[in-house]
Amino acid sequence: MTDENVDLEVRLEEQEAFEPPESFVEQANVSDEGIYEEFEENWPECWERAADMLDWDEEYDNVLVDDDAPFYEWFTGGQLNASENCLDRHVEGGRGDSVAIEWEGELGETRTYTYEELLEEVDEFAATLRGLGVEEDDVVTLYMPMIPELPIAMLACARLGAPHSVVFAGFSADALATRMNSADSEYLVTCDGYYRRGDALDHIEKANEGLEGVDHEVSDVVVVDRLGDELAHSLADNQHDYDELVADHAGESVEPISRDAEDMLFLMYTSGTTGKPKGVKHTTGGYLSYAAWTSHAVLDIEPEDTYWCSADIGWITGHSYIVYGPLALGTTSVMYEGTPDYPEKDRMWELVEKNDVDIFYTAPTAIRAFMKWGTEYPQQHDLSSLRLLGTVGEPINPRAWKWYYKHIGNEECPIVDTWWQTETGGMMITTLPGIGTMKPGSAGPPLPGIDGRIVDVDGNQVESGNAGYLTVNRPWPGMLRTLYQNDDRFIEEYWSEYSDPDSDEWVYFPEDGAKIDDDGYITVLGRVDDVINVSGHRLGTMEIESAIVGVEGVAEAAVVGGDHEVKGEAVYVYAITEDGYDEGDELEERVVEGVLESIGPIAKPEEIIFTPELPKTRSGKIMRRLLEDIASGNELGNTSTLRNPEIVDDIAAQVEND
Ligand code: WT7
């Protein structure tokens, strides 16, 4: 490194606050600091700003109805259709020739859909689904990787008023079955396979295996021929080739169904503390307006932009910020099928350069991988089209933030570190890129209109500098409305910790720990429940544990998250064998197999440690904290309160040796 470069590194390392560049501020969608006060003073009417981003078939009567809190209702009386807002209105507004989706497959093939073309595809697939009998309010399950048919199917469902439930393609057959069962979903759209690092992966086999576990009749399965082998797989009687079916509806259009603002747009399953995934219900009016508003205010998206969010549509980030938010704003959304290091580690930057990407939104785990690979990869490309960078999914450490700022943004792009969740529908805590000072590692203040606080166990706000629990003390339009067919669990999971129902005070608890500084900037520290965050993906430790104790030969298991350089957290398994079973490689393999089968490769254990006992308190509770410290290689605290302190050294020694 030259002296000049060393100086730069040192300066960056010490710098704790960054201002957005003037050139960005001048063109920002939101650059008036007064917006915070304006939202405060006009709450909840301020949310009309979000609703105004959409076209409504019927104007709403009330912004917020809170009679039956925490079952809040937003924009009641209003009617709209999400697919019309994402497609028709842009075409009718004369922007039919603008590109809606710029797709690139892993092997390098591309597909470009203008708004007009996308509308045509959505119309035809909506007609196809209707032809199969799909009616308003039927839940349609979509089990597809990052291929254009996924957003097409989502928007086709939205057009018909049929909520979609997208199941991440990396999830296992069991996970698909659980979700279809929970939602009583009778329709599935899937595909034959897809590419990963150049290899064709089978997908239909997994889908079929999942279908075997569905406890009700599945009327129809539509299969996209992604591999181009004319579906060499044999299709069952109720299974249809996507292209063939759609050909029968060529040129047809479907009148978008006017949905009530509070009607369900989609369901998205996510992990919680207990074993069963939760079906998060999002609505048409509140969710869509919130996705559009945050895309406008935080991602600074303009119709002329080319915007790229590198998440998978199988997660909420892809729903809100690849599909609904960007398309509602009429921008060009880039969609990439594959992995970031195929064929080379510069694939992302090649895509940025080729498409002149203006805004790039990714996860800290990806940034840590880019850092590890080195600066030579971004340096091979012209990244000067970029004007804004974003991150989401987990805390970002200042070092990764600064690397991203310097080596991707060339110190010219603001970074928004956006905290939110599947349940919140959209971003909640982040700086506004045209306003706020950025502090690496700290997400920033709550967005205008969002009442985020850091409280102690009693719900009292903590002094700045102290750690506590994050709460949201007022509702917002993008919030989940309930857990599908489980209102009780909805209250129990999110509203029981800090609310005071007697005085009708409802406080949302996201189960994250956080701290706050003198400027009101929030640093999110991570989950405080039994959920771990592996590469920005949320996994329930109980879910993994129940998969493992289902393996023959395992008597008991504890799963915790341990620190991991790239993944953030990784899955550590501590298991006790059943009498008569050996703790050898064979059992280890079967444990891995069990996890893959019940959840998928994202939950694959980093390490499996067999032990004769788990460290337990005198009352018999597993000391998870201690297991986490062992996994992370942290110093171990006091173990004297354990019933079996001697076991700790044994386990720790094993982890070190592995
Ligand atoms: C959990 C939600 C929101 C889409 C991706 C994940 C963690 C998310 C941040 C951030 C620190 C973050 C939290 C949250 N998280 N964004 N910017 N800084 N932590 O959605 O699967 O619902 O997970 O991800 O722990 O509770 P999700």
What integer pLDDT is reported at residue 608 of this predicted model? 96
Quote the CA–CA distance of 428 and 416 in Å, as a whole number.
12
For 560-609, what is each residue's pLDDT tens digit? 999 999 999 999 999 999 999 998 899 999 999 999 999 999 999 999 99
Residues near 51 by Cβ (< 8 Å), separated by ≥ 6? 60, 63, 75, 78, 285, 289, 477
DSSP single-letter state for residue 230: S
Distance CA 120, CA 96 (A): 11
pLDDT, position 329:
98
- Measured in whole angstroms, how far is the alpha carbon of residue 614 from the centre of its chain? 33
Q: Ligand 1 pocket check: which of 280, 365, 420 to mutate, most ligand atoms within 8 Å of Cβ?
A: 420
Low pLDDT (below 50) residues in the chain: none
| CB of residue 393 inside a 6 A radius of ligand 1 | yes
Could you tell me the CA-to-CA distances from 17 to 13, 399, 445, 521 in Å, in that order? 11, 13, 14, 12
CA-wise closest residue to 249 among 319, 369, 152, 168: 152
**Predicted local distance difference test score (pLDDT) of residue 13:** 85
Domains of the chain by range and CATH? 531-657 (3.30.300.30)
Partners of residue 559 on adjacent β-strands: 573
Ligand 1 pocket member 527 (CB < 6 A):
yes
pTM of the model: 0.96
Residue 254 CA to ligand 1 centre (angstroms): 37
Predicted pLDDT of residue 65: 98
Q: What is the complex's ipTM, to 2 decimals?
A: 0.99
Instruction: For ligand 1, pick from 280, 294, 394 the residue to mutate: most ligand atoms within 8 Å of CB.
Output: 394
Looking up tokens 């949905």 gives 259
Strand order in the sheet with 164-166: 239-241, 220-224, 187-191, 140-143, 164-166, 264-270, 278-283
Q: Which atom of ligand 1 is nearest to the CA of 271?
A: 21
Q: At what angle do helices 149-160 and 115-132 cross, to 10 degrees?
A: 60
Q: What is the pLDDT of residue 2?
A: 56
Instruction: Quote the pLDDT of residue 464.
Output: 94
Strands, sheet with 467-472, edge to edge from the N-terminal-most edge strand? 452-455, 467-472, 512-516, 522-527
pLDDT of residue 657: 72
Residue nearest to atom 17 of ligand 1 (CA): 419
CB 535 less than 6 A from any atom of ligand 1: no
With left for phi above 0 and alpha for psi between -120 and 50, is residue 27 left, alpha or beta? alpha
Question: 190 φ, ψ to 5°?
Answer: -145, -165
- Residue 73 CB–ligand 1 contact under 6 Å: no
**Bridge partners for 444 per DSSP:** 522
Nearest-CA residue for ligand 1 atom 7 is 394
Ligand 1 contact, 362 CB (< 6 A):
no
Kindly state the tokens that stand for 599. Answer: 């959840």
If you measure from the C-alpha of residue 533 to the centroid of ligand 1, how many angstroms do you get, rounded to a whole number? 8
Say yes or no: CB of residue 482 within 6 Å of ligand 1.
no
State residue 645's pLDDT score: 87
On the question of a cis peptide bond just before residue 343, with omega within 30 degrees of 0, the verdict is: yes
The tokens for 267 are 């369901």
Q: How many CA atoms lie within 13 A of 195 on its CB side?
A: 19
Q: Is residue 401 lining ligand 1, measured as CB closer than 6 Å?
A: no
pLDDT of 507 reads 98
Give pLDDT, residue 7.
Answer: 67
Q: What is the end-to-end Cα distance of the chain in Å, rounded?
A: 36
Q: What is the position in ligand 1's atom list of the atom closest to the CA of 420?
A: 3
563 forms beta bridges with 569
Residue with tokens 């030969």: 553
Q: Mapping DSSP to helix (H, G, I), strand (E, B) and coil, where does residue 416 land?
A: strand
Ligand 1, atom 24, residue with closest C-alpha? 393
Which ligand 1 atom is nearest residue 422's CA?
22
Nearest residue (CA) to ligand 1, atom 10: 419
Please give the pLDDT value at position 10.
80
